[in-house]
Amino acid sequence: MRKPGRMLGVLLLVALAGCASEVSVGTAYDPLTVFPRQGTFAWDEGSNVISEQVAHLGLAELLPPAVEGALASRGWQKASADAADLLVSYQLSVATWVQVATPDSEERSRAMGTLSVALLDPENKQRLWVGFIQADVAPSVSHEERRKRIEAALERLFKEFPP
């Protein structure tokens, strides 16, 4: 017989280990949609949004090819919007907060970015699949390092796609 306290301790440890990751990902999808193993996609032009706080980091140039690469590695091909099985869009928002100084530390600010990638039905633009990536924003990293981090996060995001 297992003791409830021990099991609770194990569950708490697992939960805390998940919080320790610098990048977290999650997905949600319409369970009534049957996603083909391979298909075509196009960008939902004009629907992509990047927070002004990080616009200077070049993410508008980095995100589309990284998303396209993640989908291509799963057998999906880019097509024209009128011939695509799915439309793709993204939104990147940033929340910044200040950690109040204590006698032992300085006041610091922290920025957390959330990237959502949506796959839409081209007929009605209903969201069929949505993925979320959340990570600390690191403005001091190089453009190349930022590209690598984005690609790695998107690979994790699309790991189980199609569902």
Name 24's Cβ contacts closer than 8 Å, sequence gap at least 6: 18, 133, 134, 135
Q: Tell whether the model's pLDDT for residue 40 goes beyond 80.
A: yes
Q: Is the pTM of this model over 0.85?
A: no
Q: Tell whether the model's pLDDT for residue 7 goes beyond 60.
A: no
DSSP code for 22: S
pLDDT digits (tens, 9 = 90+) for 59-72: 899 999 999 999 99
Alpha carbons 114 and 93: distance in angstroms, whole number: 5
Residue 108: what pLDDT?
72
Nearest to 42 by CA among 83, 90, 74: 83
Alpha carbons 141 and 97: distance in angstroms, whole number: 20
Q: Tell whether the model's pLDDT for residue 46 goes beyond 90.
A: no
> Mean pLDDT throughout 60-88?
96
The answer to whether the beta carbons of residues 94 and 54 sit under 8 Å apart is yes
Residue 100: what pLDDT?
67
Query: What is the domain class of 23-157 according to CATH?
Result: alpha beta
What are the sequence ranges of the domains in the chain?
A: 23-157
Residue 6: what pLDDT?
35
Alpha carbons 150 and 63: distance in angstroms, whole number: 7
Mean pLDDT computed over every residue of the chain: 84
